[in-house]
Amino acid sequence: MSPPGWGGNLLRGLFNSVLIAAGAYSIGIMVGIAGAFGKLYGGPVLRDLLELYTTIVRAVPELVLILLLYFAGTDLINRLLEAFGYQRIDINGLVAGICVLGIVQGAYSTEVIRGAILAIPQGQIEAARAYGMSPGLLLRRITLPAMLPFAIPGLANLWLIATKDTALLAIVGFNELTQETRTAASTTKAYFTFFLVAGALYLLLTLFSNVIIARVEKWARRGMHVESH
C-alpha cells in the first residue's frame, strides 16, 4: 500500500525521536541533580526559585511550555547576539527541541532525585564525612551511587515519558516519528496503516526500554536485600 521510501522516512523519524529523547533525558538528569542539590542544600532564595520552577513546569502543559520556551528562547538568544553585535542565527529545531524537553524533564527529575537522596540512610553519608571525604568526592563516590536504587524506578518512568513527549514536537513541525507519520499518511491517504505502524514502533521502543530498565534496576539494586518485585 505504501510507495517505496516511506518506511525509510518512518525509521528516520524514529531515529530522530530517540535522539531527542536521549538528549532531553540527559539534560533533564543533569538539571535534576543540580535542582535536587539546590533544593536540599541551597539557600532560601534558591530553594524557593527551584520550587517555583518545578511547580510551574509540572502544572503547565508541555505543549504550552514548548511553544513558550521555543519562541522566547530563540528570541532571547538572537537579541543577546544582536546586543553584542553578532548576526542573528536560526536555532536548529533539533537542538531547541532537546533543550525545551530537557527543561521539562529536569523539573520531574529534580523531584525524583531529591526523594532518592533523602532515602539514603544518613549514616552512610556521615561515615563518608567521618573518613575525610571532600564534598565533591562524597557526591561522586557515595551520594550519587547510593541514591541510584531509589531513583531508578522514577528515572525509568521519565525515560518512557521522554520518548512519548518527543511526539509533541510534531506540533511545532519537527520531523520526528509522529510528524513523519502524518506526512506519509496524508500524502498516501493511508492514515490507518501508517498510524498503526508508528504506534507499533513506539510500542517496540517502550518494550525494548523496559527490558533494558529491568536489567539496570537489577544492577542498581545489587546491594539491596530484597530483589525487586
Partner 1 sequence: MAEPATARLVDAGARASLWLQPHRIGLIAVGVVLVVCAALFMRWDWLPNYYGLALEGIWRTLWILVVTCVLGFMLAVPIGLVQVTGPRWLSVPAYWFCTVIRGTPLLLQLWFLYYGLGSLFPQYPWIRESFLWPYLRQAWPYAVLSLTLSYAAYEGEVMRGAFAGVARGQLEAARAFGMSRWKVFRRIWLPQAIYRALPTLTGETVLQLKATPLVATITVVDIYAVASRVRQSTFIVYEPLLLLAVVYLCITGILVFAFRKLEARIPARLG
Partner 2 sequence: MKYAPEAAAEAIHIENLHKKFGELHVLKGVSLSARDGDVVAIIGGSGSGKSTLLRCINCLENPTSGLIRVNGEEIKLKADSHGHTVPADRRQIERIRSRLGMVFQSFNLWSHMTLIENVIEVPIHVLGVQRDEAVANAERLLARVGLSEKRDVYPAFLSGGQQQRGAIARALAIEPRVMLFDEPTSALDPELVGEVLKVIGDLAQEGRTMILVTHEMKFARKVATHVVYLYNGLVEEEGPPEAIFGAPRSDRLKKFLHNVH
Give me the residues that bind partner 2 (CB under 8 A), please.
121, 123-124, 126-134, 137, 141-142, 145-146, 148-149, 222-225
How far apart are the C-alpha atoms of 194 and 200, rounded to whole Å?
10
Query: d(Cα 128, Cα 210) in Å, to the nearest integer?
Result: 34
CB of 142: closest distance to partner 1 in angstroms? 31
Using CB under 8 A as the binding rule, whether residue 72 contacts partner 1 is answered as yes
Q: Tell me which of partner 2, partner 1, none is bound by residue 72, counting a contact when its beta carbon lies within the kind-specific cut-off of 5 to 8 angstroms.
A: partner 1
Q: Does 192 bind partner 1 (CB under 8 A)?
A: yes
Work out how close the CB of 149 gets to partner 2 at its nearest, in angstroms, rounded to a whole number: 7
Grid coordinates representing 206 are 517502550
99 contributes a contact to partner 1 by CB under 8 A? no
Instruction: State which residue, 127 or 204, has the beta carbon closest to partner 1.
Output: 204
The three cell numbers of residue 220 are 542498581
Vertex 218: Cα angle to 212 and 222 (nearest 5): 150
The percent of the chain in helix, strand and coil, each rounded to the nearest 5, is 85, 0, 15
* Phi, psi (deg, nearest 5) at residue 137: -65, -40
**CB under 5 to 8 A by kind: which of partner 2, partner 1, none does 128 bind?**
partner 2
Q: How far is the CB of 137 from partner 2 (least distance, A)?
A: 6
Cα–Cα dist 190/16, whole Å: 23
Q: Residue 143 Cβ, how far from partner 2 at the closest point, in Å? A: 10
Distance (Å, whole) CA 191 – CA 182: 8
The reply on whether position 142 binds partner 1 by CB under 8 A is: no
Is residue 194 a contact partner of residue 3, using CB atoms and an 8 Å limit?
no
Q: Which of 22, 67, 99, 172 binds partner 1 (CB under 8 A)?
A: 67
Q: Kindly tell me which of 43 and 132 has the beta carbon lying closer to partner 1.
A: 43
